[in-house]
C-alpha cells in the first residue's frame, strides 16, 4: 500500500467492511464511550467502503452497491483511523484538508470507486453478510468478500491528492 501512488488503478480482492453516515455516527459514539466496536466487526487491516447496498434479488449476492460521497464521513475519519486498524477508505468525491492530513498521519489511503456504476461494482462482490446494526437497513454494516473490485488511488499514504493535482492543472 505504501507503494501505491495517486492515480493508480487497482483491482481489490479480499474482505472489506461497509459503513455510511449512520453507522459511522454510532461507531464513533461507541468508541468515544469506551464500548469498543460491535461484536463481529473487525476493521483491522481492511478497507471501509462507504456504501449502502441495495437488497439482492434473483439470486444476486447483493444488489447495486455504488460508493457514496466520502466527504460526509470526514468528521469521523480520524477517529476511525486512530482506533480501528483500518487501512483506508473507499468512496467517491473529494476529502477535506484535515482528513487528508489524517490519512497521511496514519499512512492510510483513500480509494475512489466509480460513481454511477453500482451494478457493475456489485458484480465484484462475491459474498455479503450483515454483521452489525441490522436494524439500519441499507446503513447496516456489511462484510463483503470482493474479487477484482476496480478502484483508483485518490489520496495515497503520503497525502498526495488526485483532486488537488487536477485542480492545480485547471488553474494553469
Q: Does the predicted model carry a pTM greater than 0.85? A: yes
**Positions in the chain whose pLDDT score sits under 50:** none
Domains parsed from the chain with CATH numbers = 9-171 (3.20.130.10)
**Cβ-Cβ contacts under 8 Å for 163 (sequence gap 6 or more):** 94, 95, 154
The pLDDT value recorded for residue 115 is 83
Cα–Cα distance for residue pair 109/161, rounded to 1 Å: 10
The pLDDT value recorded for residue 166 is 74
Hey, CA dihedral for 16, 21, 81, 29, is it positive or negative? negative
**Cβ-Cβ contacts under 8 Å for 29 (sequence gap 6 or more):** none
The pLDDT value recorded for residue 116 is 84
The pLDDT value recorded for residue 167 is 72
The pLDDT value recorded for residue 47 is 98
The pLDDT value recorded for residue 96 is 96
C-alpha distances out from residue 26 to 29, 70, 141, 162, Å: 5, 17, 11, 30
Amino acid at each position: 500500500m505504501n507503494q501505491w501512488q495517486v492515480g493508480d488503478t487497482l483491482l481489490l480482492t479480499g474482505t472489506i467492511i461497509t459503513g455510511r453516515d449512520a453507522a459511522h455516527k454510532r461507531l464513533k459514539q461507541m468508541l468515544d464511550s469506551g464500548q469498543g466496536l460491535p461484536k463481529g466487526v473487525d476493521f483491522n487491516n481492511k478497507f471501509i467502503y462507504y456504501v449502502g447496498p441495495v437488497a439482492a434479488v434473483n439470486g444476486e449476492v447483493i444488489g447495486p452497491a455504488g460508493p457514496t460521497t466520502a466527504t460526509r464521513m470526514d468528521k469521523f475519519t480520524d477517529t476511525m483511523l486512530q482506533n480501528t486498524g483500518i487501512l483506508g477508505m473507499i468512496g467517491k468525491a473529494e476529502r477535506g484538508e484535515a482528513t487528508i492530513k489524517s490519512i497521511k498521519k496514519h499512512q492510510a489511503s483513500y480509494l475512489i470507486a466509480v460513481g454511477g456504476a453500482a451494478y457493475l461494482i456489485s458484480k465484484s462482490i462475491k459474498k455479503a453478510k450483515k454483521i452489525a446494526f441490522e436494524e439500519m437497513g441499507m446503513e447496516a454494516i456489511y462484510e463483503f468478500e470482493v474479487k477484482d473490485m476496480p478502484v483508483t488511488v485518490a489520496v495515497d499514504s503520503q497525502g498526495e491528492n488526485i483532486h488537488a493535482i487536477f485542480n492545480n492543472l485547471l488553474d494553469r
